[in-house]
């Protein structure tokens, strides 16, 4: 055994595991966002569409793209807020995978190691911590999409106050917490079943 290699149970082992999971999660989040960001822009505009004089502003996804890419294309509007969103996604995915990957070897030991409910509880906590930590970035991203503001203009608009930056955070936790936790815990269960099948 290599004496220079850190034990997985050492503090250095935990740190390396956290950094590895956080790094992989951050890169995956940024890459997936690059592909699907125009769809996220359209979804956000449709979700906030207002009915004026009995008529909706947009008729659907194609209408959103038609207006953005109309006679005078504004391609940048398809990616407005991307860098802010990518930064937020990187932090979220990094915490999401990093915290769970690092803590499960500490918390899920003995009889709880392969217990789905214990895995789900840990995943639920780490998912909500990740969502709460990055929610202000998500608020800024949505306002940039809707209003065409720059990052600094959004900060001036909301006044950088926690009340506005965290508006709707409770609903977001209910929406993403359960699904995100189920995915992490479910993946661990499938992986454990496959590992046992090979033995």
pLDDT averaged over every residue in the chain: 79
Exposed, middle or buried: residue 123 (CB in 10 Å: 0-12, 13-18, 19+)? buried
Q: What pLDDT does residue 11 have?
A: 54
In a domain, 61, yes or no: no
Cα 18 to Cα 6: distance, rounded to the nearest angstrom: 14
The per-residue pLDDT for 199 is 46
- 104 domain-assigned: yes
- pLDDT at residue 6 in the model: 47
46 part of a folded domain: no
Overall pTM surpassing 0.85 (yes/no) = no
Is residue 10 scored above 80 in pLDDT?
A: no
Cβ neighbors of 197 (< 8 A, separation 6 or more) are: none
The rounded percent of the chain whose pLDDT value lies above 90 is 1
52 phi, psi to nearest 5 deg:
-115, 120
Q: Which domain holds residue 114?
A: 11-34+82-198
Please give the residue that has the higher pLDDT: either 140 or 162: 140
């Amino acid at each position: 055994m290599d004496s220079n290699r850190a034990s997985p149970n050492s503090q250095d082992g935990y740190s390396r595991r956290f950094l590895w999971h956080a790094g992989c999660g951050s890169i995956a989040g940024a890459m997936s966002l690059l592909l699907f960001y125009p769809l996220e822009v359209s979804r956000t505009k449709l979700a906030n569409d207002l009915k004026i004089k009995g008529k909706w502003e947009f008729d659907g996804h194609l209408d959103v793209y038609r207006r953005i890419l109309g006679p005078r294309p504004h391609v940048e509007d398809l990616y407005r807020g991307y860098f802010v969103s990518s930064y937020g996604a990187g932090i979220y995915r990094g915490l999401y995978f990093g915290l769970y990957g690092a803590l499960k070897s500490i918390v899920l030991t003995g009889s709880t190691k392969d217990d789905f409910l214990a895995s789900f509880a840990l995943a639920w906590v780490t998912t909500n911590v990740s969502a709460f930590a990055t929610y202000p970035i998500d608020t800024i991203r949505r306002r940039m999409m809707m209003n065409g503001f720059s990052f600094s203009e959004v900060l001036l608009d909301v006044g950088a106050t926690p009340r506005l930056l965290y508006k709707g955070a409770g609903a977001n936790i209910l929406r993403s917490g359960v699904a995100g936790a189920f995915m992490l815990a479910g993946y661990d269960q499938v992986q454990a079943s496959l590992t046992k099948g090979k033995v």
